[in-house]
Structure 1
Amino acid sequence: MGTHQIILHTYCPEIFVNLNMERLTINIPETKSSLVKQILKELGVVIQPEKQANISDFRKKLANVSVWSDADLKVFEESKTAFENLKPQRW
Protein backbone atom coordinates (compact mmCIF):
# COMPACT_ATOMS: atom_id res chain seq x y z
CA MET A 1 0.00 0.00 0.00
CA GLY A 2 1.50 3.36 -1.04
CA THR A 3 0.65 7.00 -0.55
CA HIS A 4 -0.33 9.74 -2.96
CA GLN A 5 1.15 13.20 -2.77
CA ILE A 6 -1.19 16.12 -3.41
CA ILE A 7 -0.02 19.68 -3.92
CA LEU A 8 -2.68 22.22 -2.97
CA HIS A 9 -3.01 25.90 -3.81
CA THR A 10 -5.34 28.00 -1.67
CA TYR A 11 -6.11 31.70 -1.84
CA CYS A 12 -7.63 34.45 0.24
CA PRO A 13 -10.75 35.76 -1.60
CA GLU A 14 -10.92 38.92 0.55
CA ILE A 15 -7.91 40.38 -1.27
CA PHE A 16 -8.84 41.40 -4.80
CA VAL A 17 -5.70 43.24 -5.91
CA ASN A 18 -3.18 40.56 -5.03
CA LEU A 19 -4.25 36.95 -5.16
CA ASN A 20 -2.40 35.37 -2.25
CA MET A 21 -1.75 31.69 -2.83
CA GLU A 22 -0.38 29.21 -0.34
CA ARG A 23 1.18 25.94 -1.46
CA LEU A 24 0.72 22.88 0.70
CA THR A 25 1.97 19.37 0.01
CA ILE A 26 0.34 16.46 1.82
CA ASN A 27 0.84 12.71 1.64
CA ILE A 28 -2.39 10.71 1.68
CA PRO A 29 -2.81 6.95 2.04
CA GLU A 30 -3.75 5.39 -1.28
CA THR A 31 -7.05 4.10 0.09
CA LYS A 32 -8.19 7.61 1.13
CA SER A 33 -6.83 9.60 -1.83
CA SER A 34 -10.03 9.98 -3.85
CA LEU A 35 -12.11 10.83 -0.77
CA VAL A 36 -9.66 13.50 0.38
CA LYS A 37 -9.44 14.98 -3.14
CA GLN A 38 -13.24 15.13 -3.38
CA ILE A 39 -13.57 16.91 -0.02
CA LEU A 40 -10.82 19.40 -0.84
CA LYS A 41 -12.31 20.20 -4.26
CA GLU A 42 -15.69 20.86 -2.64
CA LEU A 43 -13.93 23.32 -0.32
CA GLY A 44 -12.55 25.21 -3.34
CA VAL A 45 -9.00 23.92 -3.21
CA VAL A 46 -7.17 23.65 -6.54
CA ILE A 47 -5.31 20.35 -6.76
CA GLN A 48 -2.28 20.42 -9.02
CA PRO A 49 -2.05 17.27 -11.17
CA GLU A 50 0.96 15.03 -10.67
CA LYS A 51 3.73 15.64 -13.17
CA GLN A 52 5.63 12.75 -14.64
CA ALA A 53 9.38 13.32 -14.48
CA ASN A 54 11.13 13.04 -17.83
CA ILE A 55 14.85 12.46 -17.27
CA SER A 56 15.86 13.38 -20.82
CA ASP A 57 14.14 16.79 -20.43
CA PHE A 58 16.05 17.41 -17.20
CA ARG A 59 19.32 16.50 -18.91
CA LYS A 60 18.60 18.92 -21.77
CA LYS A 61 17.88 21.73 -19.31
CA LEU A 62 21.06 20.99 -17.36
CA ALA A 63 23.10 21.04 -20.56
CA ASN A 64 21.91 24.62 -21.20
CA VAL A 65 23.08 25.96 -17.84
CA SER A 66 25.71 28.63 -18.33
CA VAL A 67 29.08 28.46 -16.61
CA TRP A 68 30.49 31.57 -14.94
CA SER A 69 34.17 32.33 -15.08
CA ASP A 70 36.25 33.61 -12.17
CA ALA A 71 36.16 37.07 -13.80
CA ASP A 72 32.35 36.96 -13.77
CA LEU A 73 32.30 36.04 -10.08
CA LYS A 74 34.89 38.70 -9.19
CA VAL A 75 32.28 41.43 -9.69
CA PHE A 76 30.12 39.88 -6.98
CA GLU A 77 33.03 39.58 -4.57
CA GLU A 78 34.01 43.22 -5.16
CA SER A 79 30.42 44.35 -4.60
CA LYS A 80 30.18 42.29 -1.42
CA THR A 81 33.41 43.78 -0.08
CA ALA A 82 32.31 47.33 -0.94
CA PHE A 83 28.98 46.78 0.80
CA GLU A 84 30.60 45.34 3.91
CA ASN A 85 32.95 48.35 4.10
CA LEU A 86 30.12 50.90 4.09
CA LYS A 87 30.04 53.01 7.24
CA PRO A 88 26.67 54.53 8.21
CA GLN A 89 26.69 58.24 8.89
CA ARG A 90 26.20 59.37 12.46
CA TRP A 91 23.53 61.95 13.17
Structure 2
Amino acid sequence: MKHSYKFTKNFYFIATVVFVVWMLFFDSNDFYSQYQLKAKVEELEDQKVYYEKKIEATEADREALLKDSELLEKFAREKYFMKKDGEDIFVVVEED
Protein backbone atom coordinates (compact mmCIF):
# COMPACT_ATOMS: atom_id res chain seq x y z
CA MET A 1 0.00 0.00 0.00
CA LYS A 2 2.84 2.40 0.83
CA HIS A 3 4.42 1.72 -2.52
CA SER A 4 1.30 2.83 -4.45
CA TYR A 5 0.96 5.88 -2.19
CA LYS A 6 4.51 6.96 -3.07
CA PHE A 7 3.69 6.42 -6.72
CA THR A 8 0.75 8.87 -6.57
CA LYS A 9 2.94 11.54 -4.96
CA ASN A 10 5.31 11.42 -7.91
CA PHE A 11 5.25 14.71 -9.88
CA TYR A 12 5.33 12.98 -13.26
CA PHE A 13 2.42 10.73 -12.37
CA ILE A 14 0.31 13.69 -11.21
CA ALA A 15 1.25 15.71 -14.31
CA THR A 16 0.34 12.79 -16.57
CA VAL A 17 -3.03 12.28 -14.87
CA VAL A 18 -3.83 15.99 -15.10
CA PHE A 19 -2.80 16.02 -18.76
CA VAL A 20 -4.94 12.96 -19.60
CA VAL A 21 -7.97 14.37 -17.75
CA TRP A 22 -7.52 17.70 -19.50
CA MET A 23 -7.28 16.06 -22.94
CA LEU A 24 -10.27 13.78 -22.35
CA PHE A 25 -12.73 16.29 -20.94
CA PHE A 26 -11.66 19.94 -21.31
CA ASP A 27 -9.73 20.20 -24.56
CA SER A 28 -11.42 21.35 -27.77
CA ASN A 29 -10.79 17.86 -29.19
CA ASP A 30 -12.32 15.91 -26.30
CA PHE A 31 -14.24 12.63 -26.62
CA TYR A 32 -17.64 14.28 -27.02
CA SER A 33 -16.44 16.58 -29.81
CA GLN A 34 -14.80 13.67 -31.60
CA TYR A 35 -18.00 11.63 -31.32
CA GLN A 36 -20.05 14.50 -32.79
CA LEU A 37 -17.59 14.99 -35.62
CA LYS A 38 -17.61 11.27 -36.44
CA ALA A 39 -21.42 11.26 -36.54
CA LYS A 40 -21.38 14.31 -38.83
CA VAL A 41 -18.88 12.65 -41.18
CA GLU A 42 -21.05 9.52 -41.39
CA GLU A 43 -24.12 11.65 -42.13
CA LEU A 44 -22.28 13.54 -44.86
CA GLU A 45 -21.02 10.29 -46.41
CA ASP A 46 -24.60 9.00 -46.52
CA GLN A 47 -25.69 12.22 -48.19
CA LYS A 48 -22.84 11.89 -50.67
CA VAL A 49 -24.01 8.40 -51.68
CA TYR A 50 -27.60 9.65 -52.00
CA TYR A 51 -26.62 12.57 -54.22
CA GLU A 52 -24.34 10.41 -56.37
CA LYS A 53 -27.30 8.10 -57.05
CA LYS A 54 -29.50 11.11 -57.86
CA ILE A 55 -26.85 12.41 -60.27
CA GLU A 56 -26.68 9.04 -62.04
CA ALA A 57 -30.48 8.93 -62.37
CA THR A 58 -30.58 12.49 -63.67
CA GLU A 59 -27.86 11.79 -66.22
CA ALA A 60 -29.75 8.71 -67.42
CA ASP A 61 -32.94 10.78 -67.76
CA ARG A 62 -31.02 13.46 -69.62
CA GLU A 63 -29.59 10.97 -72.08
CA ALA A 64 -33.04 9.48 -72.66
CA LEU A 65 -34.55 12.92 -73.24
CA LEU A 66 -31.83 13.94 -75.69
CA LYS A 67 -32.27 10.76 -77.74
CA ASP A 68 -36.09 10.62 -77.90
CA SER A 69 -37.94 13.73 -79.09
CA GLU A 70 -41.36 12.33 -78.12
CA LEU A 71 -40.18 11.73 -74.58
CA LEU A 72 -38.73 15.24 -74.49
CA GLU A 73 -42.07 16.71 -75.58
CA LYS A 74 -43.94 14.65 -72.98
CA PHE A 75 -41.50 15.77 -70.28
CA ALA A 76 -41.82 19.43 -71.25
CA ARG A 77 -45.61 19.24 -71.27
CA GLU A 78 -45.88 17.48 -67.91
CA LYS A 79 -43.17 19.28 -65.98
CA TYR A 80 -43.21 22.78 -67.40
CA PHE A 81 -46.77 22.98 -68.79
CA MET A 82 -45.47 23.85 -72.26
CA LYS A 83 -47.87 23.77 -75.17
CA LYS A 84 -48.00 24.03 -78.90
CA ASP A 85 -49.30 27.15 -80.62
CA GLY A 86 -53.09 27.31 -80.60
CA GLU A 87 -53.40 24.72 -77.84
CA ASP A 88 -55.15 25.28 -74.51
CA ILE A 89 -53.97 23.65 -71.29
CA PHE A 90 -56.16 23.00 -68.28
CA VAL A 91 -54.46 22.25 -65.00
CA VAL A 92 -56.56 20.38 -62.48
CA VAL A 93 -55.57 20.91 -58.87
CA GLU A 94 -57.06 18.60 -56.26
CA GLU A 95 -57.97 20.23 -52.97
CA ASP A 96 -57.77 18.26 -49.75
Structure whose residues are more often helix by fraction: 2
- What TM-score does the superposition give when structure 1 sets the normalisation length? 0.23
Higher Cα radius of gyration: 2
Which gives a bigger RCO, structure 1 or 2 (Cα 8 Å, sep 6+)?
1
- What TM-score does the superposition give when structure 2 sets the normalisation length? 0.23
Structure whose residues are more often strand by fraction: 1
